Structure formats: structure tokens, C-alpha cells
Structure 1
Amino acid sequence: MNINTYQDLIALAEEQPEPQRLLFVFSKAELPEDATPAQKKAFEQGEGGVLNPVICVDRTPEEVRDFTTLVSESEQTGHDWDIAFVAAMSGRGGMPPTSEECLQPLKMMMQQIQSGMISRFLAFSRQGELVQLN
């Protein structure tokens, strides 16, 4: 199954043989301090910049069936964000991973995002649209 929407992600997670926990890292597009004039101009037009993680959470697919639920929850933190990166973590023995088991993978996700290594994650806009980042 191809993932083209957030609902596809949830459906695929629920179809897995072991219960899943979804890992979310919310990132804000920002201009680097040492940006060139060309980079500044591109950023003002909605292009370029760097994505800095601002929030990370783990949830079961059942807890976040609808993307608006996830957005509402994120708004309660007071942190603004532009892109939500998502990965899934499989449980074992019929049990989903615990939040404690997700801490290290979430930290690794944040480090990879800060390093620009984002190809292994799904990325969703604040409107819940799947986006391709280069």
C-alpha cells in the first residue's frame, strides 16, 4: 500500500501484525544565522531554510486517527511548527512499544532531522498534506 495521505498512514499502521506506535517530530522552518542574501530572499518566498525540531511525541494510531486531533494537541504546547515528520515503531507480543521505549528513537529522529537526513520519514504539512522535501 502506498501512503499518499495521513489516513493511509493510520490504516497501514493498524494493518501491521504487531501494534504500532507513531513517532512525531514537529519542526519549524527557520533561516540560518549565516544565511546569504539569496537564501534570505528564497526564504521570504517560502523556500529554503532549515527545519528545527520543536516538539516530539509518540502516539498510538488510535490516539491520532485524525490529523486535526494531532494539530490541536500540538497547539496546546504553544510551539509553532511547519512540518511534522513521522516514523512508526513496532511492538512485540501483541503490545505496542511504551512511551519510554520511544524516547531514544525520538531523540535519534530529532538528530537526523537537524542533520538534514529526512528521507526515511514521512513529512506532513500543518494542513495534513503529505509533502516531499528536497
Structure 2
Amino acid sequence: MNTTKDNKWRDGKALERYTLIAPLLEDSLDPAKRLQMRKDIASRNGISLRSLYRYEAAFKKEGFSGLKPSERPKQHSAKLPDNFKEILEQAVQLKREVPDVESLNYYKIFLSQGKTKEEALKILAAKIAMTQNLADL
């Protein structure tokens, strides 16, 4: 995600959270009224009471910046194996040869061809993904 875009999103979430807790920050509220307001706010906005308590605590401890979601490193998808093209070609070839075989049978065929369990599962996963992608067309 773009850093500027990410920061705008985090600022927006912090503003949303502040808007939720602002009425609860009033020092003159008695505890029963504050609890009732929390329940109403949580109910109206589809969030838990615990979240409201966390937002309040974060605001009291760190101010507005405490309401921003934490920065997280980008998640990268798992790297494809080096021989992915070969695995995909094997899955395509097997699908052509035996079009109606179920997944477990494919797995058994791969093992009988001398593939390791890991290789067989990778080929099977590629076959399933390919089948799903073709069905979406």
C-alpha cells in the first residue's frame, strides 16, 4: 500500500475511533451513564465494548495517535517453487490424460510416478487452482 495512502487510511480510522469515544471522555459523566453510553455506542456501530475500552485507554495514554491502527509490514504471498512451471505442466498433462479422476486419485498417481509427497501436493494444488480458474471463465 502506498505510504501516503496508508497514512491517510490510518488517520481516517483514528478519526472514526475518536468520534466514537468523544462523548465518553466527558469527566462529569457518572459511571452508570458512561457504561450505558458505551453500550449504546457499541450497539449502534457494531463494535464490542472491549474495543471502546481499548480506544479510550489508547486515547488517554497516547492521544489521537494512540487511536491509529498500528503499521504492519506488507504481507507477501508465498514464493512459488522454482519448478512451478514444470509442476503446472504436469498437472495440465494429467488432467488431459485422466479428466475425471478425483483429487485423492491424482495424489496416488503422482506418488506412483515417484513424486515425493511435497511434490504431489504442489502438483495437486496447481491442478485444483487451474480447475477453479477454468470454471470461473
Normalised by the size of structure 1, how large is the TM-score? 0.24
| Rg larger for | 2
Q: When you count helix as a share of all residues, which structure comes out higher?
A: 2
Greater RCO structure (CA 8 Å; 6+ sep) = 1
